Amino acid sequence: MRIAEIYCSIQGEGFLTGTESVFVRTAGCNLRCWFCDTHYASWHPEGEDLSVHTVLRRILAYDAEHVVITGGEPMLYAELIPLCAALNKRGYHITVETAGTLYLPLHCDLMSISPKLSNSAPRGTAHERWKRRHERARHAPDVVRRLIREHAYQVKFVVDDPHDLEEIDRYLDAMPEIERDWVMLMPQGTEVGRLNLTRNWLEPYCREHGFRFCARKHVEWFGLVRGT
């Protein structure tokens, strides 16, 4: 499996915010969100091909009890199945962060699904081919249904603009299986000023509509710095 980076840091998003974790970032993605903050794992994937054994050995070198498998899109790699089984056997808490477009039968303790809305499509005329692929692939409700049926989960929507809220409502209306308690709305952005501007209207909206607001604490703590 192609791995962009493995490092130990603090989870900055979602229910486990503040938890020390080893992050395993796979390289490669079947989507091309314009706002992707890890181009080195999507638009321009980097990294090296590592065996499950090597990935496991690098995780074991850290003390953390939580492992976050992220990307890119980690569900591209069937090697996740033996990796998650080996981590589970050793007692790790496993989070898998996915856009929810691909399914693998794996063990995980928290499936963190971030379905991509129409606001994510690649912009500009230079990416017409990717725009078509992205639009074909980004919405996979049957995959999301299966993931939430089989795992504890959180669903995080990236919100860029107030118009996105109607689309989220339509999405959730069509997916009554998703418990609102596990839905988080997270501002789009990679710098604190931009995040705060969205937070000013999004946090009250979450309170009024029964959603959880999802801060991007790692941006506050570290900035947009690779390996954090």
Give the footprint of ligand SF4 on this chain (CB under 6 A).
29, 31-33, 36, 38, 41-42, 71-73, 99, 116
Cα separation, 192 vs 144, whole angstroms: 30
Distances in whole angstroms, Cα of residue 28 to Cα of each of 41, 149, 160, 202 = 5, 26, 24, 31
Non-local (6+) Cβ contacts of 14 within 8 A are: 95, 110, 112, 154, 156, 184, 214
Instruction: Kindly provide the residue ranges of all beta strands, DSSP E only, lying in 125-168, ordered along the sequence.
Output: 153-159
* Residue 32 or 66 with smaller CB distance to ligand SF4: 32
* Residue 61 or 225 with smaller CB distance to ligand SF4: 225
Smallest gap from residue 38 Cβ to ligand SF4 (A): 6
21 pairs with which residues across the strands? 9, 66
* Residue 35 or 213 with smaller CB distance to ligand SF4: 35
* Residue 38 or 112 with smaller CB distance to ligand SF4: 38
Taking the CA atoms of 43, 46, 49 and 52 in sequence, report the sign of the dihedral they define.
negative
Contact between 95 and 112 (Cβ < 8 Å): yes
Non-local (6+) Cβ contacts of 79 within 8 A are: 1, 51, 52, 55
Smallest gap from residue 37 Cβ to ligand SF4 (A): 7
The rounded radius of gyration (Å) of the Cα atoms in the chain is: 17
Smallest gap from residue 158 Cβ to ligand SF4 (A): 8
* Residue 21 or 112 with smaller CB distance to ligand SF4: 112
Smallest gap from residue 116 Cβ to ligand SF4 (A): 6
* Residue 22 or 71 with smaller CB distance to ligand SF4: 71
Smallest gap from residue 63 Cβ to ligand SF4 (A): 27
DSSP state of 156: E
Smallest gap from residue 18 Cβ to ligand SF4 (A): 22
Give the length of the chain. Answer: 228
